Amino acid sequence: MIRATDHSTGLLFDRWSHIGPKRRKLLDTSWPGVFRNYLLHKLPVERIAARLSKYTGRPSKELYTVLGAVILQQPLDLSDEELTRAVALNLEFHYALDIIDNSDESTYISERTLRNYRKIIEEEGLAPIIFGTLTDEMLKAFKVDASLQRMDSTHVQSNMRKLGRVRLFVAAIQKFLRAVRRSQRKQFTTSLSSEFVDRYLAKDANGCFSRVKPSESSRTLETLSRDLHWLIETFFTEERIRKMPEYQDLERVLREQCTVTEAGEETQVTVKPPKAVSPDSLQNPSDPDASYNAHKGQGYEVQLMETYQTGERDPKIPNLATYVDVNPAHAHDANELLPAIDAVKERNCGPRELVCDTHYGSDENVLAAAGKGVAVIAPVAGNTPAEGITLAQFSPDPTTGYVTRCPEGHAPLTMRQTEKERLIATFSLETCQACPRQQECPVRMGKKAASLNYTPTALRSAVRRTGEHTREFKEKYRHRAGIEGTNSHLKSDQRMGRLKVRGLEAVRLAVTFKVLGMNIMRCARALAARYCDFLVHFSGSIPSKLPLTQLMEKLCSPIQPFSQKIMLVSPKMHFAI
């Protein structure tokens, strides 16, 4: 049975009037107030309710409470045990989740219940939906301008151990042997010798393999690869074992790390050199979704887009993250720009200008983003060419891409486009031979004419490189550095650098809710700044005999954008917002 409380309909009496004005102010101007007043009633509990029965079974936990608890767990970096205690005993959680009674039915959530609902969120793919719904509500409530945004990626690690190749082989074999011993005891005892089992499952097995000298690692890998291949061949005819994920991990390690060749009746297993192993190969059997990045290591890559302000920053308007996604570490940033733009535009919070680094600013991305109405501000990849005349100095026509005149003012004799979409401009041979800048010019001398051979992509890149030296570009691009502080904040304060979960879906849920929590905290700081301005504005300016209706109208008007509820708690003009 489904149990969900209506949090969107207003009440005649305030259910939290028993809290004093000072404590109420602390709650309302921090994350509990933001979550309760703006976000709680927007939670998509109907998506979870679809997995439950309306008429049969025991009553569910109150859906707004349990979904809100799962969301708040990540930004506060709580374990399941700590979250259970917080929901049961913490006033901030009671206020954020609008729990008004102290019964066990309303305040107690077991760790098993948290795991079950978290699994539903992962299976239904609700984390991006929740993030988008709640972030859009905060953008609207706090009147955040999303026309200027910046994008970057950061590396995170799941709760897995970093393994070298020797430890990877050993871990895959050990995990398989334990799974077979647990579920297929008969095949385990009949097919495997005690010597082989002791080599990997004895108490000192891990220590032996962890003390391999670098000079002996190649020989050890060869032995491990033969053992791994022998296990795969031995249990290949056992259908139940072949369907086990541990067996499939063995096959994946063999396929990615080794080369198997048939030499007559014998099979030769050769370990691939490290550079021949794909970056999306298995890094640890405990987390099969993690991959490898040569620059940042094992783990996952988080794509993040957020708003920013130009000029002097207004503390009453927060910068909010509008997009977050998680991919394996080997995914390239260039492939993530357009999906991010499409995602935010679908929610009507797309940017007009998007500042990002070189990895996102390929020519294809810039053109595609311009077609979507987004100007990508990013440096051009590659080394800056040596001093000399560039294509941008040939006065190109922005519509056709044809050059109109050389730096010396001479127009081309002809312009044509080849079948391979290259453009060729021809100039007078006599004029170019007499040019004093011939040595630094990209025009090449032919037998009958001088020609400039280029591609539209090279021309656009040259124009963009020229624009990078302008004051306008530098003024816009300097705002990209701010997102580095956001990434640092997420890793230090939100504990996103090393997560407590494994697997792509679990990592995506944790990261998405941590970024959502960062948005909530930023809105809370903006709310506190507005409250301070409210006090300064009205200090000593309210007549003592003003009628109550006019008083409330006077108080509500300047703070209407961020609060719809003001409670008069005493005749001495104390207010809780």
Backbone φ and ψ for 437, nearest 5 degrees, come out as -105, 25
Alpha-carbon distance of 522 to 487, in angstroms, equals: 14
Give me the percent of the chain exceeding a pLDDT of 70.
Answer: 89
The domain 144-160+294-379+468-539 is placed in CATH, from the list 3.20.20.20, 3.40.50.620, 3.30.420.10, 2.60.40.420, at 3.30.420.10
510 token code pair: 């944790």
Contact 62, 561 (CB under 8 A): no
Neighbours of 457 (CB within 10 A): 14
Span of 239-248, 326-335, 563-572 with lowest mean pLDDT: 563-572
pLDDT of residue 485: 94
Alpha-carbon distance of 481 to 483, in angstroms, equals: 6
386 token code pair: 């040596």
pLDDT of residue 567: 38
Query: What is the residue-averaged pLDDT of the chain?
Result: 87
pLDDT of residue 30: 92
Alpha-carbon distance of 445 to 442, in angstroms, equals: 10
pLDDT of residue 152: 96
Alpha-carbon distance of 397 to 413, in angstroms, equals: 16
The dihedral over CA atoms of 344, 348, 353, 355, expressed in degrees to the nearest 10, equals -20
For residue 187, give the nearest of 148, 142, 237 by alpha carbon. Answer: 237
Domain boundaries, the chain: 1-124, 144-160+294-379+468-539, 165-276, 391-454
pLDDT of residue 101: 86
* Model confidence at 450: pLDDT above 70: yes
| Most confident range, picked from 196-210, 376-390, 489-503 | 489-503
464 token code pair: 């963009």
Angle at 275 between CA 270 and CA 205, to 5 degrees: 55
- Calculate mean pLDDT across residues 193-214: 75
State the pLDDT confidence band at 252, using cuts at 50, 70 and 90.
very high
Alpha-carbon distance of 80 to 75, in angstroms, equals: 13
Alpha-carbon distance of 415 to 154, in angstroms, equals: 45
Say if residue 110 is exposed, middle or buried (CB neighbours under 10 Å; 0-12, 13-18, 19+): exposed
149 token code pair: 């945004």
CA 124 → CA 45, 129, 432, 513, distances in Å?
A: 12, 10, 67, 15
State the pLDDT confidence band at 569, using cuts at 50, 70 and 90.
very low
Dihedral sign, Cα of residue 77, residue 81, residue 84, residue 86: negative
Tell me: the pLDDT tens digits for 291-307? Answer: 999 889 999 999 999 99
DSSP 421-456: S-EEEEE-HHHHHT-TTGGG---EE-SS-EEEEE-H
* Model confidence at 507: pLDDT above 90: yes
pLDDT of residue 388: 79
* Model confidence at 266: pLDDT above 60: yes
Contact 254, 274 (CB under 8 A): no
Give me the percent of the chain exceeding a pLDDT of 90.
Answer: 58
For residue 39, give the nearest of 116, 91, 98 by alpha carbon. Answer: 98
Identity of the residue numbered 51: R
pLDDT of residue 476: 94
* Model confidence at 54: pLDDT above 50: yes
* Model confidence at 253: pLDDT above 70: yes
pLDDT of residue 502: 94
Alpha-carbon distance of 367 to 357, in angstroms, equals: 16
The dihedral over CA atoms of 451, 452, 453, 457, expressed in degrees to the nearest 10, equals -160
* SS (HEC) of 264-329: CCEEEEEECCHHHCCCCCCCCCCCCCCEEECCCEEEEEEEEEEECCCCCCCCCCCCCEEEEEEEEC
Identity of the residue numbered 16: W
- Calculate mean pLDDT across residues 191-213: 76
pLDDT of residue 287: 94
* Model confidence at 68: pLDDT above 50: yes
Tell me: the pLDDT tens digits for 210-230? Answer: 666 666 778 888 989 999 999
State the pLDDT confidence band at 531, using cuts at 50, 70 and 90.
confident
* Model confidence at 558: pLDDT above 80: no
Alpha-carbon distance of 356 to 483, in angstroms, equals: 9
pLDDT of residue 263: 61
Span of 54-58, 448-452, 522-526 with lowest mean pLDDT: 54-58
- Calculate mean pLDDT across residues 410-434: 88
CA 188 → CA 94, 199, 248, 484, distances in Å?
A: 52, 15, 17, 52
551 token code pair: 């008083």
For residue 480, give the nearest of 365, 377, 380, 334 by alpha carbon. Answer: 377
Angle at 301 between CA 504 and CA 68, to 5 degrees: 55
Alpha-carbon distance of 249 to 282, in angstroms, equals: 8
pLDDT of residue 204: 66
Q: Is the pTM of this model over 0.85?
A: yes
Say if residue 423 is exposed, middle or buried (CB neighbours under 10 Å; 0-12, 13-18, 19+): buried
104 token code pair: 């066990």
pLDDT of residue 100: 86
* Model confidence at 561: pLDDT above 50: no
Tell me: the pLDDT tens digits for 347-384? Answer: 999 999 999 999 999 999 999 999 999 999 999 987 77
